[in-house]
A and B are shown apart, each in its own frame.
Chain A
């Protein structure tokens, strides 16, 4: 079920009141069933895969907690990671590896054609796999006690607001909430509804509408002029942010109206002054996951300068590959790794200021210059993220070198500026209030709800006549 579809709103209208009305002891089983309905709406067959993943980690988690011998513990952890990564590798990367190794096999007279299986990628597999993996790793590290209740654990894996595209929650944060079945507060309902309305606006009216330009231009790049392609790339940077942050807001909002708190996934990344800050603000749940479960176990910055850079590169390359089975994603991750390494080299051990505070015009000019530089660097990487293959990337650079003027340059500029301003308005308010529900800070609550309702109303009008587009991160 897509968050930006009417059927999801109908689902919520039926599910949420029923959830409130149920006695607490039945809430989790109801939540689990609802989550399976939500997930099975795409393809019911993949619910079994979700269930399998749940059983594996629940069982291993229990044994791991009871095991005292380090060897046995290591073996159980290895089993959990292998099972999770095995499922992920089969569904997500099998085709990619077969395709990548085919030329090598051909050099030795081999043929891997029989291995092309046309496997369908289950929605959100990377997200729930990482979430369940963190559960067993935390138990292994003795920082988490496993739950004995299978239903509670199954809800943790399948919790529908964040099941298919995160935020990737830690068991330490989400599981206690599931076990305690929190009562929803008035403020949570208000914040939740506000997050759903603003999230839908970002997804539907900014993400989807800018994305239509992007999709057409990137798919048939050869027929478009240079400036149109360049603007399409800028529009993609807006699309992916509006799409994913909009999704995350709806996810948090939906969880809130049931009394659950999910982590923030975005903190105005396009207002970052450097690439390190960008990664603290972009897809926070993934970058912190990679930091805690990959970068730090690899040694982080504790094993010398050279090793730090190697660890950074490895983390970012694998982070790129997490997004999709394509060399373009590897390059995307690699570029970010290089940026981060260079930035680390420049700043050394200096601590970065968390956010910008106005200290006069020169400081503002410096801030804007740094923000612009960071955005240009990030924009270059988005090309590799959006282009589906090397040919598209090559064509993009060729069109940039052999510049063809377009009669629509001014119009594309206006369109891009309009989308940029729209997303920037949200970001600026969120940046200064440090709240995604900044509207609710207004003293006059009627104005806050008037604006929220206006946004929601126009979004619904648009949604009604346009087929809902899936979220970009669903494919990961």
Chain B
């Protein structure tokens, strides 16, 4: 009996072990791209290949410096224009190839139209709000000395809502803006750090972990019973009313700091409360809204969030990325020309 159980368990284990290789080499499951850093919190692994299937499909690598797109080193040549893109999953772009992402289009368009050497660096990270993007810029992106920083934001990003258990966060101390690294003490950070070795390497463990999260959320009922159980997922409508936004003192200070220290553009994905807009403009930050360009698509009956292969709504689709890249490129070229005239 013992022998039978032993052989059974051994063959189960060996089968799973072989399937681990299958999952990794067939790129059937999305890899873990993030790792934990005592300064940056959640950050990207370097030189890591990834394939993602969601509403879209993306395949790519993180570069040797730990951000998306071509790996431009920390040194910047004097005559080049370097743009850093900061923001959440819209910037990260796990739905499309880098060549179709607005990062590439922006780079291509400005190079083509100005004959300048342009380098656009993608520092997007899923779930980042303005606070996270600012900390990430201060701790990491600014090492690459960008001439221009583009923050892609939505109204809710002005309220610090994302989980800071694994990320640094800003606070005000004696009227000055500081970054706290208290996340290092959090249980979540330490647990994730201790288990990252196995979670980051095994696809089967990742599958188990992700299933566990779905079970914890209660989604298992709809998965198992399908039409017999209509699961109402927890949709976050918390930020639907921009009037209710808590534009707190810390975020206000972040905007002020960005206006003071950086040549920045805020590219907004949705409407924003007039008071915040005024604050952005008064801090010498250029305010742009993607709706200016995406509305023409919508008027033509195309939904910029619709993905034709999966039939899902989600992040900007390929056409929208192309439009945004061109729109942003035109705005930046306009700024460059204006600056030249002023000189």
Contacts and interface: CB of A to CB of B under 8 A. Distances in A.
A454 B7 CA distance: 13
Interface string B1-18: 001111111111111100
Given A6-B226, A446-B5, A457 B12 contact: yes
Interface string A448-459: 011101110110
Contacts of A455: 15, 19
A461 interface: yes
B214 A223 contact: no
For B4, B12, B25, the residue with the greatest tally of chain A CB atoms inside 10 Å of its CB is B12
Interface in B295-343: 308-309, 318
A418 interface: yes
A266 B290 CA distance: 53
Q: Which of B3, B19, B214, B225 has the most CB of A within 10 A?
A: B19
A120 interface: no
- Between B5, B8, B53, the greatest number of chain A beta carbons within 10 A of the residue's beta carbon is seen for B8
Contact of B207 (A215, A450, A458): A458
Given A415-B27, A450-B15, A458-B207, A464 B9 contact: no
Interface in B217-231: 220, 223-228
B224 A10 contact: yes
Contacts of A213: 57
A418 B309 contact: no
B182 interface: no
Interface residues of A, number: 38
B309 A215 contact: yes
Contacts of A457: 12, 16
A374 B214 CA distance: 45
B56 interface: yes
A148 interface: no
Given A450-B11, A451-B11, A7 B27 contact: no
Given A415-B26, A418-B22, A454-B19, A216 B9 contact: no
A4 to B, nearest CB: 12
Given A220-B308, A446-B6, 12 more contacts: A6-B226, A7-B224, A10-B224, A205-B28, A223-B97, A408-B59, A415-B27, A444-B7, A451-B12, A451-B14, A453-B12, A458-B204
B272 interface: no
Given A418-B26, A422-B26, A449 B8 contact: yes
Contact of A223 (B3, B100, B223): B100
A41 B227 contact: yes
Contacts of B227: 7, 41
Interface residues of B, number: 46
B208 interface: yes
Interface in B178-233: 204, 207-208, 210-211, 214, 220, 223-228
Contacts of A209: 26, 28
Nearest to B60: A408
A465 B210 contact: yes
A419 interface: yes
Interface of B: 3-16, 19, 22-23, 25-29, 49, 53, 56-57, 59, 97, 99-100, 204, 207-208, 210-211, 214, 220, 223-228, 308-309, 318
Contacts of A212: 53, 57
Interface in A223-280: 223
A450 B12 contact: yes
A229 to B, nearest CB: 13
Nearest to A466: B53
Q: Of residues B224, B226, B308, which shows the largest number of chain A Cβ atoms within 10 Å of its Cβ?
A: B226
A41 B226 CA distance: 11
A209 B28 CA distance: 6
Nearest to B225: A7
A450 to B, nearest CB: 3
Contacts of A422: 22, 26
A415 to B, nearest CB: 5
A450 B19 contact: no
Contacts of B207: 458, 461-462, 464-465
A449 B13 CA distance: 12
Contacts of A56: none
Contacts of A446: 3-8, 11
A216 B211 CA distance: 25
Contact of A411 (B8, B10, B59): B59
A5 interface: yes
